[in-house]
Amino acid sequence: MILLSITTTKNSGWREKIKEANKLGLKEIALFPTCLNKKQREELYFLLKKSTIKNIPFVHLRSDMNLEELDFFIKNYKTEVFNIHTQAQYPLIHDYSKYKSKIYIENVFQEFDKKELKNFAGICLDLSHLENDRLLNKKRFSKNIKIIEKYSLPIGCNHISAIKNFTHLDKSGELRYDEHHFENFSEFDYLKNYPPKYFSQFIAIEVTNSLSQQLKVRDYLFDSLFHKNFLNVQIDFSKFFVIPREETEFWIQKVIRELKIVNDKLQILDIFAGTGCLGIAVSKNIKNSFVDFVDNDKKAIEQIKINLKLNKISSKRYKIYKSDLFKKLEGKKYNVILANPPYVAKERLNEVQDTIKEFEPKIAWFGGKRGLVIISKFLKEAKNFLNKDGKIYFEFDPFQKEEVERIAKKENYQIQFFKDQFQKFRYAKLNFRDPISKI
Ligand SMILES: C[S@@+](CC[C@H](N)C(=O)[O-])C[C@H]1O[C@@H](n2cnc3c(N)ncnc32)[C@H](O)[C@@H]1O
């Protein structure tokens, strides 16, 4: 969830923000009592009680807040996560071990301390601080990225603020690009360069802007960060970070045109479904189709469910299987099998897009030394799941064309190759010629 915030720096106008929340009827926010002393916090808690706000899932924890204050939030506002600064910056006064599974340590212009992180639930990743480091302190940026990647510590919450295209000096004399106030939505565009796995369930927009401005930026972020239009369907890849490619979009469009001409009741299999983009595009465009989705990754399964809902595909028109290849499909037959298997060859690692290399799950793309391990297994079995006139359409790497042809012929398929929009052989259409029935 992307949460609007009430911050409490000097000119943030936190009392006015509570009034604004009441006016807007807001029930849920993130709270930053960062700059309030005990007396001011008591006033804040009093105003909150009389407000429309009923949920505060994410609270910034000041090092002097006592356990009763944490209890207060958890009991009254269902608070699920807190963030703190490192103890090197603000030594803790109270013992928070009772709630250590809810407390995450934020990167505030310092390197993560692995030992300290292990004493709490994990990381509160402030992406604007991280981006500021990327621009001004590459060494610290790389070290923090390394710790995040190497120890795979949970990222439990995030702060996001604006990144300007000019620097300013903060009150401690530090040069900074990040600021807790935005003028343009584009000041959040840096977020598109970070993979969804750096985002958590609780993302607080940490800015001093009015709540109504924050509402607008929240809509902007939701549309621009984790969504892609794929043909005429919406694909969310926030749970399973595999971004549908334009080459895939190109060939599935051609296939849909072909299938529309037939316009029969089609039983379709989308195997290696990932986000489900192929099968969902077919469901949306071919009214008589029924699609089975298969993937062996539980996050992909979760993502397929989200995308089917997002595109309002009736549950009567699909089934989802978590399966290693065809294992859970025994006895099933299809008119069409669509496949975008993991086919990137290990030896071509240097040539693939940076996002695939750095952030996407390796299992989603890599198919062994020559990229053909999964393709071979797939073609060996797929014929048993085709109807009499059934067809397979699948994607491969242009450099694999000859080897794909060899495997297909060995498995008794007839194969036709087609080019993508960049004039490279990218997909094939196969049908099975049963050698026994010819005798
Ligand atoms: C290239 S991605 C598919 C991308 C998908 N068409 C999309 O654009 O969202 C390959 C998918 O195959 C899945 N996969 C890999 N090995 C598999 C196996 N043995 N059985 C089933 N699925 C597998 C991966 O989890 C991944 O989702």
Whether residue 174 sits in one domain with residue 65: yes
Atom of ligand 1 nearest to the CA of 377: 19
Whether residue 84 sits in one domain with residue 117: yes
How many other C-beta atoms are found inside a 10 Å radius of the C-beta of residue 224? Answer: 14
pLDDT of residue 347: 60
Q: Is position 154 within any domain?
A: yes
Atom of ligand 1 nearest to the CA of 325: 20
Atom of ligand 1 nearest to the CA of 297: 25
CA of 255 to the centre of ligand 1 (A): 19
Q: Return the residue whose CA atom lies nearest to atom 17 of ligand 1.
A: 296
Whether residue 169 sits in one domain with residue 292: no
Whether residue 261 sits in one domain with residue 221: no
Whether residue 137 sits in one domain with residue 10: yes
pLDDT of residue 366: 59
pLDDT of residue 241: 73
DSSP string, 55-120: EEEEEEPPTT--HHHHHHHHHHH---EEEE--TTTS---S--GGGGGGEEEE-SSS---HHHHHHS
Rounded-to-integer distance, Cα 156 and Cα 126, Å:
11
| 217-221: Cβ within 8 A, 24+ apart | 217/182, 217/185, 217/188, 218/2, 218/4, 220/185, 220/188, 221/2, 221/160, 221/188, 221/191
CB-defined site of ligand 1, < 6 Å: 242, 244, 248, 272, 274-275, 277-278, 294-297, 300, 324-325, 340, 342, 363-365, 374
| Spatial CB neighbours of 17, under 8 Å, sequence gap ≥ 6 | 6, 210, 211
Q: What is the SS3 assignment for 48?
A: helix
Among 225, 258, 292, identify where a domain stops: 225
> What single-letter amino acid sits at 265?
K
The CATH number of residue 250's host domain is: 3.40.50.150
CA of 340 to the centre of ligand 1 (A): 7
Whether residue 257 sits in one domain with residue 219: no
Range of the domain at 262: 233-432
Whether residue 245 sits in one domain with residue 206: no
Rounded-to-integer distance, Cα 297 and Cα 222, Å:
25
Domain count, the chain: 2
- Mean confidence (pLDDT) of the chain: 90
pLDDT in tens, 311-369: 999 999 999 999 999 999 999 999 999 999 998 766 655 555 554 555 555 555 556 66
CA of 323 to the centre of ligand 1 (A): 11
What is the full per-residue pLDDT of the chain (439 aa) written as tens digits?
Answer: 889 999 999 888 999 999 999 999 999 999 999 999 999 999 999 999 999 999 999 999 998 899 999 999 999 999 999 999 988 778 878 888 899 999 999 998 888 888 888 889 999 999 999 999 999 998 999 999 988 887 767 899 999 999 999 999 988 888 999 999 999 999 999 998 888 778 888 999 999 999 999 999 998 887 777 788 899 899 988 778 787 889 999 999 999 999 988 767 899 999 999 999 999 999 999 998 999 999 999 989 999 999 999 999 999 999 999 999 999 999 999 999 999 999 876 665 555 555 455 555 555 555 666 779 899 999 999 999 999 999 999 999 999 999 999 999 999 999 999 999 999 999 999 999 877 655 4
Whether residue 122 sits in one domain with residue 59: yes
Among 160, 193, 225, identify where a domain stops: 225
CA of 73 to the centre of ligand 1 (A): 42
**DSSP state for residue 170 in the 8-state scheme:** -
Whether residue 29 sits in one domain with residue 138: yes
Q: Return the residue whose CA atom lies nearest to atom 12 of ligand 1.
A: 272
DSSP string, 272-293: S-TT-HHHHHHHHH-TTEEEEE
Q: Is position 439 within any domain?
A: no
Whether residue 288 sits in one domain with residue 202: no
Among 225, 253, 280, identify where a domain stops: 225
CA of 59 to the centre of ligand 1 (A): 38
Whether residue 241 sits in one domain with residue 208: no
Q: Is position 162 within any domain?
A: yes
Q: Is position 129 within any domain?
A: yes
CA of 242 to the centre of ligand 1 (A): 9
pLDDT of residue 439: 44
pLDDT of residue 118: 85
Q: Return the residue whose CA atom lies nearest to atom 24 of ligand 1.
A: 364
CA of 154 to the centre of ligand 1 (A): 24
Q: Is position 437 within any domain?
A: no
Q: Is position 345 within any domain?
A: yes
> Best mutation site among 242, 269, 325 for ligand 1, i.e. most ligand atoms within 8 A of its Cβ?
242
Q: Is position 279 within any domain?
A: yes
| Cα three-residue angle 359-362-367, rounded to 5 degrees | 145
Whether residue 44 sits in one domain with residue 153: yes
The CATH number of residue 180's host domain is: 3.20.20
Q: Return the residue whose CA atom lies nearest to atom 27 of ligand 1.
A: 274
